[in-house]
């Protein structure tokens, strides 16, 4: 099977998200601390951290062919279902609407549902993938 059509499962996606948390979120927190004097390492304590993190998740795959740092290190990437180039709308729907806003509005229930979708769907697509018309594949 072609790796670009082989969907990435739960564990590789979780590993990539953990890598992003370590590599991106902690430095963002340090920069925020240096600027504001506030010391937080939790995502819900600072809207500034959230905005910067979701900008990173939205824009980086556009300029880096579907990768963010964690996904690149984990050997997976985001692709559109039609195999065309990712657009800002795809990534905005995926990260901001499908991941951030939906999880906020459903008090995290959408994240739990997404885990089950990734585990049990053959194409391994989560709610945010379905909303944005994307998928995560091995690269």
Provide the pLDDT for residue 40.
58
- Of 2-16, 39-53, 59-73, the range with the highest mean pLDDT is 59-73
Percent of the chain with pLDDT over 70: 91
pTM: 0.87
Provide the pLDDT for residue 51.
86
Provide the pLDDT for residue 125.
98
Residue 59 has pLDDT above 50, yes or no: yes
Residue 12 has pLDDT above 90, yes or no: yes
> Is the Cβ–Cβ distance between 44 and 36 less than 8 Å?
no
CA distance 5 to 85: 15
Q: How many domains does the chain fold into? A: 1
Q: Find the mean pLDDT for residues 81-102.
A: 96
Residue 1 has pLDDT above 80, yes or no: no
Task: State the residue range of the domain holding 86.
Answer: 3-138
Average pLDDT, the chain: 90
DSSP string, 95-125: IIIIIIIHHHHTTTHHHHHHHHHHHHSTT--
């Amino acid at each position: 099977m072609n790796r670009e059509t082989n969907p990435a499962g739960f564990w590789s996606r979780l590993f990539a998200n953990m890598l992003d948390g370590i590599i991106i979120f902690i430095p963002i927190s340090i920069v925020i601390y240096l600027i504001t004097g506030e010391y937080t390492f939790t995502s819900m304590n600072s809207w500034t951290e959230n905005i910067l993190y979701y900008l990173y998740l939205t824009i980086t795959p556009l300029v880096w062919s579907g990768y963010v740092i964690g996904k690149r290190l984990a050997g997976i990437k985001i692709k559109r279902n039609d195999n065309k180039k990712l657009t800002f709308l795809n990534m905005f729907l995926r990260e901001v609407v499908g991941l951030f806003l939906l999880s906020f509005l459903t008090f995290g229930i959408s994240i739990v549902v997404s885990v089950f979708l990734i585990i049990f769907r053959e194409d391994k697509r989560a709610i945010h993938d379905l909303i944005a018309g994307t998928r995560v594949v091995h690269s």
